[in-house]
Structure 1
Amino acid sequence: MARAIVFDLFGVIASTQTPEDIRAIERTAGVEPGPFWEAYWALRKPYDAGQPAGEYWAAVADRLGARFTDTTVRALVEADMKSWTNVDAVMVGLVAELAARGRTLGLLSNIVADLVPIFEARHGDWLGHFTTLAYSCELGVAKPDRRAYELVAERLGVAPRECLFIDDNETNVLAARELGMRAEVFRAPDQVRALVDD
């Protein structure tokens, strides 16, 4: 049995962006959606690792050959942050259930600094079930960087091989396995229950 269970946040406990969220961001950006999302994701890793929002959005604009005004950047940040604040109630319930059973829980999330206080203010109740909240923007590294996994294990006081890691991204799962973690791609809450009880 794993001594610690480490969860990814987005795509596992928190929801990914809804179609409505995506359209709102596109309207705010005012550029072609295809190139916009390519730039949004291609340049995201430094932002996840602590890059200031203004620098990130300037890089996105530069990649697009566009210019975002300060007002547009503020609106983009607001729309972007809002798009990442919803959660899966079933998974939130599972986190509470595991905590009540005395399991040691860790969170390892690629998340931008601007979102952390917003997300914690909205979801601080169930986030309190985690022994450690390891955010990429504070760690200075983002998954699948090996150091991110090492740091969360260190904070939990366990060896990587003593962790069960759940993430919706296969690349992140494979990186965790390379370090010795038992890691699985997230499919459903029942899958997680089975993995925890195995």
Structure 2
Amino acid sequence: MNDHRRKSPFPDHRDPREHSGRSRLPFDAVLTDLDGVIRFYDMSDVAELERAAGLPEGATAEVAFAPETDLPLMLGRIGKSEWADAIAAGLARGHGLAPARGRELGIALADSKFWADQTVVGLLRRARARVRVSIVTNATPWLDDDLALLGLNSLVDDVVSSAVLGVVKPDRRIYEVAAERVGAAVDRCLFVDDRQENVDAAVALGMTGVLYRRPDDLEAALGPVLG
């Protein structure tokens, strides 16, 4: 069973930033999504395989990220191999693709190249000098490996992964756990995400929400912290 009850990175909610003027800031913590805000994918290899298989571009992602295929992965109930099998089954049902070809596409999607937007990384590093920063993401079970590949292990104070917690956004519990683990009241959190429903859920809890579209959105929201 997944257990989110990890020891807080801030014993007794104390942190060196406690005495750096945080009380004058509009928020004490930044909770940010990963994909679509910090991390982005190169889907060219998948698109090439789709063309070779006679599929429309994007067909694999449409199957892979449908709730019935995607949710068990985000909840940590299946791994990469099982996800690829589920994608293959969906492509067989929807497009008549042979299982072996569908599985190849599923693995290619799971192993897609990715990169971090260095402008966003820089903004978060600057913000972390004054407030706590946490990644809150609907993630795969191999998230830690991905963060290491991106060189982001030291970017944030905490990471809340749906695959570990067993709860996905926009369930209110993932937001509450994220705030608790960085020692911030929910109404003192800035939440950043590229999906409106996730931002709306955070705002309903009392957080300040930012719908992310470009780095300027984040920079504007962080203005009081960046000084």
TM-score, normalisation: structure 2: 0.73
Task: Please say which of residues 186-195 and 2-11 is displaced more in the overlay.
Answer: 186-195
1:59 aligns with 2:86: yes
Q: Which amino acid aligns with 2:80?
A: A
Query: Is the Cα contact below 8 Å between 1:4 and 1:156 reproduced in 2?
Result: yes
Partner residue, 1:3: 28
> Superposition pairs for residues 85-104 of structure 1, below 5 Å?
85-99=114-128, 101-104=129-132
Q: Any idea what the Cα deviations from partners look like across 1:64-114, whole Å, max 9, x if unmatched?
A: 335534x9747743542333x311111111122212x32210110111113
Q: Which amino acid aligns with 1:119?
A: D
1:175 aligns with 2:206: no
Q: Which runs of 5+ in 1 are unaligned?
A: none
Partner residue, 1:189: 215
The structure that has the greater radius of gyration is 2
> Superposition pairs for residues 146-185 of structure 1, below 5 Å?
146-185=172-211
Query: Is the Cα contact below 8 Å between 1:58 and 1:67 reproduced in 2?
Result: no
Q: Distance in 2 between matches of 1:37 and 1:187?
A: 21
1:37 aligns with 2:61: yes
Q: Which runs of 5+ in 2 are unaligned?
A: 1-25
Q: Which amino acid aligns with 1:40?
A: A
1:82 aligns with 2:112: yes
TM-score, normalisation: structure 1: 0.82
Query: Is the Cα contact below 8 Å between 1:161 and 1:180 reproduced in 2?
Result: yes
SS in 1 for 2:213: coil
Q: Which amino acid aligns with 2:107?
A: V
The Cα shift of 1:159 comes to 2.0
Partner residue, 1:143: 169
What's the C-alpha RMSD, in Å, of the aligned pairs?
A: 2.5
CA 1:76–1:57 in structure 2 vs 1: closer, same or farther (change >3 Å)?
Answer: closer
CA 1:77–1:154 in structure 2 vs 1: closer, same or farther (change >3 Å)?
Answer: farther
1:47 to 73, 78, 82: 73
Number of matched pairs: 191
Query: Is the Cα contact below 8 Å between 2:88 and 2:102 reproduced in 1?
Result: no
Q: Which amino acid aligns with 1:4?
A: A
SS in 2 for 1:61: helix
Q: Any idea what the Cα deviations from partners look like across 1:23-43, whole Å, max 9, x if unmatched?
A: 156369x46346533321112
